[in-house]
Structure 1
Amino acid sequence: MNQGQTKRYRQAEQLIKQEKWGPAGDILDALVEETADPAATRQLVRVLYKDHQYVQALSNVLDEPTLFYQDESSASLAVKILVQNQRFMLARLFVANAPKEWQTDLVKMIQTGEQAAQTKYHQTIQQRLKTFYHLGDGSLMEQRQRLEEAYALPLESFILGTRFVLRDPFVHYLIKADIIESLRKLKVDTQLDYLWIDNQEYQVNPAKLPAQNDVSAVKAVRQIIKDQLGDQDAINFQMANQQFDLQLMFLFPRATNVITDPTEWADFLLATLNGHEINDDTAVGRWQRRLMTLISTLAQAGK
């Protein structure tokens, strides 16, 4: 902030001390628009919360949640706002990325909010759960919207809905993968059945899943791509990694079961990108052709 903006920021701080939330918020809102200053954004959210403008405060938190990892007080404020707006799963995911020493107290805040909501907003939660059950009744875009709405559910209700959604053949697999990944981040220790891209059912315990990029086979493929293209062809290097990222979206959480030979996998991927005709009558070839079809279908759905 320049000198004039700093002066206005101090004026806002004086108004906050006087609990004049409206005038303080007006100044801070303008400063955020002008400067995108993190401190001004956090102060604006505090003022909006104090002024009971919870929806607007939520919008600012969701725009840049990482700004609220600055200190425990800011993280606590973000959680209060998420809970106030009944965004319980989003609150838990926010806390999962916070420093570990803060997490216990922050999770307790969420649990208290969930318990209160189960009593006060029981019918609303039940309706959201019913909508979650019918996630598969729509396009991929509509399913993403319904999943976003489901993140307002308390964790217990979300898991209940998940048990049905993960086995629903009409739910797009990328939606299922998003759900499993969210539960992995939350270290949810429970066994879940899911219908995978090969139309077979498998079981997974999210708490025991590694992050996809920590899987040894995944790291090996990335290293091969880097060794072959990293210093020689920046464009193809980027394209290869993007294609591999798309493959991993569909392979999650079974990449290890499919990529049994990282060298063969990387060679096939790179040859395909270069337009080379190669024998695809192998396990790797058949898998990559299947993934290419899924990725192509995904691209068409986005048009």
Structure 2
Amino acid sequence: MPNKQSQFEQAEKFLMQKKYFQASELLTKCYSQHQNFRTNYLLFKALTKSQQDHAAVDLAQDYLNSYIADNDLFLELLKAMGQDHQYIAMRILYQQLEPCMKDTEQTFFDETILQFEQQADPLWIRKIVFESAGMELAPPSEQRRLLKKIYSLPVKLLVNIAPNILASTTIHPLIKVDLLDTLRKLKINESFDFVFINGEHYQVSPAKLPNEQSSEVKKRLFALLPDHTDQALLVAQQAEISLKLLLLYPFATTIIKVNHGWLDALVKGETAALSISEKEIAVKLTELLDQWA
């Protein structure tokens, strides 16, 4: 059985010989035994060279700070994301880093990402756009699958598709909320017609919306939960609260009062302490969550 050092040296030879698949197999074994950036990067290269870009991008997350700290490495990561059609994720990552970049870097990476987007296969794009047109008639499980496909489109096309989804009365609210949050991360300032769970129409600008993950309402509701020795139950209750608050995005803070009445309604379905209008909302949330399951 070859030791780790000999496996690593053989993998380096495979890389030099352009035997990328063999190199990726050996480096995967080395990386599973001992994780470090050097092995990570060599495995990343072997994966990208053997057209395993999705695996390469996933691998880079282990040392993401190292990849984004170096312009050449960041460019390699963006290229792998482009090859894997991760245009939306690519843009979001760039948007997060943009404030820390020099003007010349911003221009370079913005133009580079645009070039990757322009290289997208038009037949593949047409297929996804065509499939997404049937989202309104699909069940939630199929809507989730289609949304993942839509997220592999260039940003401009995502923005073009978004109005039909956000204004739909049949697409599940969690799909619409996911899309809204993605547009927020992309800092899209355009105003969209958004149909809320009560059927009312609202004009929303994603870039101006709050980050649901840092929701004060959610944190305060979590704090009201009783201490549990059963951690699984606590996690399940927190998950249910989170999903129901998502259904109310971006208006949860104006609808939910942080008290035990709402906590019981969200976690147990007990609505006795709520007003008539609040009860209707609580029941609607449960119905929508049942549809999502």
Which category of TM-score, normalised to the shorter sequence, fits these structures? 0.7 to 0.9
Q: 2:255 is matched with which residue: 243, 249, 258?
A: 258
Change in Cα spacing, 1:66 to 1:138, as seen in structure 2 (3 Å) is: farther
- Deviation (angstroms), 1:248: 1.4
- 1:243 corresponding residue in structure 2: 240
- Deviation (angstroms), 1:162: 0.6
- 1:212 corresponding residue in structure 2: 212
- 2:27 corresponding residue in structure 1: 28
AA partner of residue 241 (structure 2)? F
Residue-pair matches, total: 284
Change in Cα spacing, 1:139 to 1:44, as seen in structure 2 (3 Å) is: same
Q: In percent, how many aligned pairs have the same letter? A: 22
Looking at structure 2, the residues matched to 233 and 84 of structure 1 have their Cα atoms a distance apart, in angstroms, of: 44
- Are 1:37 and 2:31 counterparts? no
- 1:88 corresponding residue in structure 2: 87
- Deviation (angstroms), 1:173: 1.3
Alignment of 1:24-173 (within 5 A): 24-32=23-31, 34-35=32-33, 37=35, 39=37, 40-49=39-48, 51=49, 53-54=50-51, 56-62=52-58, 65-72=61-68, 73-96=72-95, 100-101=99-100, 104=106, 105-117=108-120, 121-173=121-173
Please tell me the root mean square deviation across aligned C-alpha atoms, in Å. Answer: 3.1
AA partner of residue 204 (structure 2)? V
Q: Structure 1: which 5+ residue stretches go unaligned?
A: none
The superposition leaves residues 153-209 of structure 1 with CA deviations (integer Å, 9 ceiling, x where unpaired) of 111111001111211222111111111111111211211111121111112111111
Looking at structure 2, the residues matched to 108 and 169 of structure 1 have their Cα atoms a distance apart, in angstroms, of: 37
Instruction: Give the TM-score taking structure 1 as reference length.
Output: 0.79
AA partner of residue 126 (structure 1)? R
Q: Which moved more, 1:285-294 or 1:165-174?
A: 285-294
Looking at structure 2, the residues matched to 123 and 276 of structure 1 have their Cα atoms a distance apart, in angstroms, of: 51
Change in Cα spacing, 1:100 to 1:9, as seen in structure 2 (3 Å) is: farther
Change in Cα spacing, 1:133 to 1:218, as seen in structure 2 (3 Å) is: same
CA contact under 8 A between 1:15 and 1:23: conserved in structure 2? Answer: yes
Q: Structure 2: which 5+ residue stretches go unaligned?
A: none
- Deviation (angstroms), 1:218: 3.3
Instruction: Give the TM-score taking structure 2 as reference length.
Output: 0.81
- Are 1:284 and 2:278 counterparts? yes
AA partner of residue 261 (structure 2)? D
The superposition leaves residues 52-79 of structure 1 with CA deviations (integer Å, 9 ceiling, x where unpaired) of x32x222342467454343234443221
